Structure 1
Amino acid sequence: MQELGLIFRALLRNKVGALLISLQIALTLTIMVNAIFMMQERSAQMQRSSGLDEANLFHLSNTIFAQEYNQPVNLENDLALLRQTDGVVDAIQINAIPISGGGWSMGLKTEPGDDISSTGVAVYMVDDHAINTLGLELIAGENFSPTDVEWRPSGKNSWPAKTIITQAMAEALFPDDWQSAIGATAYINNNEPLLITGIVKSLQAPWNGWDGVERSMLVPYKMESSGSRFMIRTQPGRRDELMPIIEKLLSESNKGRIIRRVTTMDETRERSYRGHNAVNKILSSVIVVLTLITGFGIVGLAMFSINRRTKQIGTRRALGATQWQIMSFFMIENLMISSFGIILGVAGAVSLNIWLVSTFSLSPININLILFGIVALYIIGQISVLYPARKAAMISPATATRTA
């Protein structure tokens, strides 16, 4: 206790420096914990399954400029050509690409009426080959039949009679029993009925940052449009081989078209989460820089303290203090400074997280992450003060008589 009192009084004689280091530790802990928390959130988002067989899927844009082009006939020919190609598992026309950043959304409700609130859902217009092409897992109900698929000319506002939704959408519409969605009626455009005939386990929306990213629906439509997208699923390991072949087949089958943006789903995922990766790298850099600044600050404060107390240290050595006792003096001093900073830092980290949760709808921070930050900063503090403490311990007892 006497030793602690001595250390505390020494800190009071240099309280400004000790306070600045404590504030630096508090700031580092606040930012470190929340930065790691945000990195974990983004990493978890990037690791979510889209529900697709991504490794064997690619998509392309198909634009028709020939005036004599008959959309229904030629679309059927294109799909037949794709599906008959050796190595292709299946293919569909689709209005939007999952996790691509652009698509179509609507609202569904379980009761008709303008005054009934709806739940947002991503819309994918596909035919009866969609589940097989995308590699979706049908967990309840049944797939569309060929007779369910309708043609959708440009400007059409009505919807087909059936839909297949994701489990997340079923849970949003029927929270008490999502399986009861099979055979139930949902309403789109306030009062237009859709019979839910199937539920797939997962199919992500085009927007990875949307809080309803798992809520999607399939509707049985083929689109009459001069511009459309094809999604093609290949046999395992043959995707890259077949991409140029299919592009060439489509181009040669009709000279009045342009094939663009032949892209794998792996590339689509990488582009979709490019911002997440960039933010994680920035946050990692911030953590490293703050940690280094804090460590160098601790070294600087300790060295300054040693230079001011050289004679005092030499006197203690002359009176019989061991090198370990001198080292422990500065290490305990650092523990006291770190403890004060960590107390402030924990309060700051929790306060910042509360703001992040309320502003960006993030989940609350895990207590284990705060404990990690506390332990990390104690270790950083002790490592940083180790060299100055060793230098102080090496001061000769004769210094007490030589120093003015």
Structure 2
Amino acid sequence: MAIKHILKLILKHKSISLLITLQIAIAVTIVGNTSFISYRTLQNWLIPSHIAEEQIINVYTRVFDKELDQGALIERDLRNLRALPEVEFASYAANELVLATVNGRNFAHSTLDRDKQGEHVALFSQSQQGVEALGIKITQGRNFYDTEYIFSDGEQARRASVILISDALATALFEEQSALGQTIYLHNERLPYQVIGTYTDMMLGESAVYNNNWYHSAVIPEAHYAQNSQVNYIIKVHKDTTEQTLERIENLLFNEQGRIVKQVEYAARAKKRLWDGRSTFAFIMMGISGIAILVTGVGIVALVSFSISVRTKEIGVLRALGASQSRVMRSLLVENSILAFGGIAIGLCAALWLNQYFVTNLRIQGLIVPWLAAIVAIGVWLLSACAVYIPARKAARIAPAQVTKTN
């Protein structure tokens, strides 16, 4: 049957045709976005951290005694932790821990121009041995001098003047230029820090991971305590340590009065928790996709069945004029394909817009993946073809004599 005639039939039954097209468009929008989000989220499992996950330990503690001298407490803790035989390095860590906690929304800027967007960064405020505890490998420049470390009790807002940044952050901020000697500006206040060195890319803060900037991190030689009740540490231990090491560290910290030890865990555990939470979200998205596909299939079957029921006379006339069963069935399948392609085109455009909104405003991963979009389009088209097959086959069997039975 000619395409021109099929288009006329579509226009003649435009209400049902429009419903089928919208059904397919909504399915493509939902399945497309959930597929992009799921793919990007699950893909993170393959991103290497480049850190010694089984050697770096995050320690979370909270001080509840407001009279306790946090500065003296931190000094005692570091002295006792570094004395443990399993410990190689230990550093005060403020709020940010390795692949564990979000320390606000830190940004690094290469200019004071407030119209230019900064780069998300996991910012680590560290005391001595912080660079070693993180396992940082300097690629250009140097490490901090002891005289460059700044300590304050929260009331004195003293700031360091130098910073170490990751290679990925250096490239993002300065492109082909060398980052050494450059000034970067942190936070909304645009506080200036001079870059004295860069280091091998490592996946450090959760805040950078959630913004798809896995290796954007920086270390500053600052230890600001008494700003809140959190007193945390990053510890690097020898290889082949066991869970008993965690118990010894926890028991040692429990000896201090006026604070609680919330958690002591390897960075590997923090990473697993981070990805497990995201994978659960991805699987929920996949479940939504399955529901959308099921609803779409049932909806198309219902709409096509209804369409055929009101077109029984037309199909009977075609059969009376000599149209074979295969021709009638092929005509219905072509008609459905035209509607499906229209719905897929609308759905992909809507998915593109919605995906951009999610990524920009809701910090959800899910950039458009062309080959995945093609698979979604082909999959939805095959679904619609399968959904229309049974009603079309039934319609093709309408006998020409049936025309005389209709009023």
TM-score, shorter chain, exceeding 0.5:
yes
Counterpart residue number, 1:217: 218
Counterpart residue number, 1:297: 299
Indicate yes or no: 2:183 matched with 1:182. Answer: no
How many pairs were matched up? Answer: 399
Deviation at 1:231, TM superposition (A): 1.8
Judge conservation of contact 1:29–1:373 (CA < 8 Å) in 2.
yes
Structure 2 distance, partners of 1:142, 1:122, is 20
**1:21 and 1:239, CA in 2 relative to 1: closer, same or farther beyond 3 A?**
farther
Tell me, what secondary structure is at the counterpart of 2:260? strand
Between the aligned residues of both structures, percent identity stands at 27
In the TM superposition, 1:24-173 aligns within 5 A as 24-43=23-42, 52-63=51-62, 75-95=74-94, 96-103=96-103, 122-146=122-146, 148-173=148-173
Structure 2 distance, partners of 1:109, 1:220, is 19
Counterpart residue number, 2:20: 21
Counterpart residue number, 1:329: 331
For each residue in 1:129-182, what CA deviation from the matched residue of structure 2 results, as whole angstroms up to 9, or x when unmatched?
2233223333222333555545333323223354322224433553341xx333
Query: TM-score, normalised to structure 1's length?
Result: 0.76
Deviation at 1:94, TM superposition (A): 0.8
Structure 1 distance, partners of 2:108, 2:334, is 63
Structure 2 distance, partners of 1:117, 1:314, is 67
Out of 229, 233, 257, the position equivalent to 2:236 is: 233
Counterpart residue number, 1:374: 377
Structure 1 distance, partners of 2:328, 2:293, is 26
**1:54 and 1:313, CA in 2 relative to 1: closer, same or farther beyond 3 A?**
same
Judge conservation of contact 1:143–1:198 (CA < 8 Å) in 2.
no
Tell me, what secondary structure is at the counterpart of 1:139? strand
Tell me, what secondary structure is at the counterpart of 1:228? coil
Indicate yes or no: 2:275 matched with 1:280. Answer: no
Query: TM-score, normalised to structure 2's length?
Result: 0.76
Give the partner amino acid of 2:163.
T
For each residue in 1:199-221, what CA deviation from the matched residue of structure 2 results, as whole angstroms up to 9, or x when unmatched?
34235445244577754332234
Q: Which runs of 5+ in 1 are unaligned?
A: none
Tell me, what secondary structure is at the counterpart of 1:181? coil
Tell me, what secondary structure is at the counterpart of 1:103? coil
Structure 2 distance, partners of 1:154, 1:29, is 53
Counterpart residue number, 2:386: 383
Tell me, what secondary structure is at the counterpart of 1:154? coil
Give the partner amino acid of 2:207.
W
Judge conservation of contact 1:186–1:196 (CA < 8 Å) in 2.
no
**1:379 and 1:171, CA in 2 relative to 1: closer, same or farther beyond 3 A?**
same
**1:114 and 1:347, CA in 2 relative to 1: closer, same or farther beyond 3 A?**
closer
Indicate yes or no: 2:260 matched with 1:262. Answer: no
Structure 2 distance, partners of 1:110, 1:321, is 72
**1:115 and 1:219, CA in 2 relative to 1: closer, same or farther beyond 3 A?**
same
Counterpart residue number, 1:341: 343
**1:234 and 1:302, CA in 2 relative to 1: closer, same or farther beyond 3 A?**
same
Out of 250, 253, 265, the position equivalent to 1:250 is: 253
Judge conservation of contact 2:142–2:196 (CA < 8 Å) in 1.
no
Tell me, what secondary structure is at the counterpart of 2:207? coil
Deviation at 1:391, TM superposition (A): 3.2
Judge conservation of contact 1:164–1:200 (CA < 8 Å) in 2.
no
Structure 1 distance, partners of 2:335, 2:184, is 67
Deviation at 1:21, TM superposition (A): 0.4
**1:55 and 1:326, CA in 2 relative to 1: closer, same or farther beyond 3 A?**
farther
Structure 1 distance, partners of 2:66, 2:9, is 89
Give the partner amino acid of 1:259.
V
Judge conservation of contact 1:98–1:206 (CA < 8 Å) in 2.
yes
Judge conservation of contact 2:152–2:158 (CA < 8 Å) in 1.
no
Judge conservation of contact 2:17–2:339 (CA < 8 Å) in 1.
yes
Give the partner amino acid of 1:375.
I
Deviates more, 1:354-363 or 1:381-390: 354-363
**1:55 and 1:392, CA in 2 relative to 1: closer, same or farther beyond 3 A?**
farther
Structure 1 distance, partners of 2:300, 2:107, is 57
**CA RMSD after TM alignment:** 4.3
Judge conservation of contact 2:167–2:201 (CA < 8 Å) in 1.
yes
Judge conservation of contact 1:167–1:202 (CA < 8 Å) in 2.
no
Q: Which runs of 5+ in 2 are unaligned?
A: none
